[in-house]
Amino acid sequence: MSDTIKNVAVVGVLSSKGSGNLGTAVVQELTKAGFNVTVLTRKGSPSTLPPGVASREVDYESVDSLTPALQGQHAVVSTIATAAVRGQHPLVDAAVAGKVSRFIPSEFGINSRILGTSAIGKILQGKVQTLDYINQKSKENPSFTWTGISTGLFFDWVSIHGLEHGSLGLDKSTKTATIYDSGSEAVQTSNLGFIGRAIAAILSDPSKTVNRYITIASFNPSQAELLEIVERETGEKWNVNHVTTAEQEKFGLEKLGRGDYSAFSNLLRKRIYEDGAGLAVKGADSANSLLGLEDEEDLEAAVKAWLGG
């Protein structure tokens, strides 16, 4: 049997929040790379698909509904939102039953394999357990393989959605930067199109990433570096608020204690911006070159696009 991947099912493209935007970028890049893409959609969800992309309605909770939809598919890419990650088990079972050869689960964030006892690990258990489950299925069925991809923050998405969603600490409407700790920690970030190209590269040469968890980044800017670029580009000093990651962790844990999952943003800041966090993805830690992608995308151009948008 040939290992060539041609038909790819993408999940999570139409979700209204968050990673739904990643799904759209993934469909675009896979289509551009010549894959035959089918988007799985929830029954009754409104469909606004790119032209030329097929779709198929499924019930994500039902292996019986998913299996026929996955028969004939060589790969499944799941981009569903973090909150729904736990619900991927029927999709995994159906992928095994449908003889899918590569499963790419909805990771696409910080590296979930090294969370240890960090507070954010409490929120990301769905990802951890889903990947453990996939790995178990792959051991039982060696022709079913997986690749996990950590991308860090979605740079272009986060910068569009701004502080509210989390994360770069820059608000261009008020020209204010919120700097966590010293602001000098390098932070793993990726643009959505870059993530799409990484997935296309994985599926074009799947033998390189069999049952592997890889980490990639468009670039790893520190907040100080971003502030320097926006000040240079706007020709103005920005207002700067200093905040500690210890305080972010405290807020996050308080929220979590109340069952408020917006704790995620606070705990994420603690995880990635803390001085010495050490989560930048460079050199040997980066799979960019393994996938034939550039070492780094152009940070200045990405910041300029954000300022101009």
- Smallest gap, in angstroms, from Cβ of residue 39 to ligand NAG? 11
Q: Which is nearer to ligand NAG, 38 or 223 (CB)?
A: 38
Number of H helices, E strands in the chain: 10, 12
What is the nearest approach in angstroms of ligand NAG to the Cβ of residue 129? 29
Residue 189 burial (CB count, 10 A)? 29
How big is the chain by its Cα radius of gyration, in Å?
Answer: 19
Cα–Cα distance for residue pair 52/50, rounded to 1 Å: 6
Residues of this chain, 74-103, that bind ligand NAG according to CB under 6 A: none
Residues between 4 and 63 with contacts to ligand NAG, criterion CB under 6 A? 6-7, 36, 38, 54
Contact with ligand NAG (CB under 6 A): which of 15, 31, 41, 73? 73
Cβ 56 to ligand NAG shortest distance, Å: 8
Judged by beta carbon, residue 6 or residue 242, the one nearer ligand NAG is: 6
**Distance, first Cα to last Cα, the chain:** 48
The token pair at 144 is: 């079913």
Binder of ligand NAG out of 20, 72, 126, 193 (CB under 6 A):
72
Q: In whole angstroms, how close is the CB of 201 to ligand NAG at the nearest point?
A: 20
The number of residues that bind ligand NAG (CB under 6 A) is 7
Q: Give residue for tokens 């799941």.
A: 78
Q: Which is nearer to ligand NAG, 4 or 174 (CB)?
A: 4
- The answer to whether the beta carbons of residues 83 and 17 sit under 8 Å apart is no
Name the residue with the smallest CB distance to ligand NAG.
36
Interactions with ligand NAG, residue window 99-138 (CB under 6 A):
none
Other beta carbons less than 10 A from residue 258's beta carbon: 8
Q: What's the min distance (Å) between Cβ of 101 and ligand NAG? A: 14
Q: HSE on the CB side for 227, CA within 13 Å?
A: 21
* Full strand arrangement of the beta sheet holding 176-180: 170-171, 176-180, 239-243
Structure tokens belonging to residue 184: 């000098």
Residues that bind ligand NAG (CB under 6 A): 6-7, 36, 38, 54, 72-73
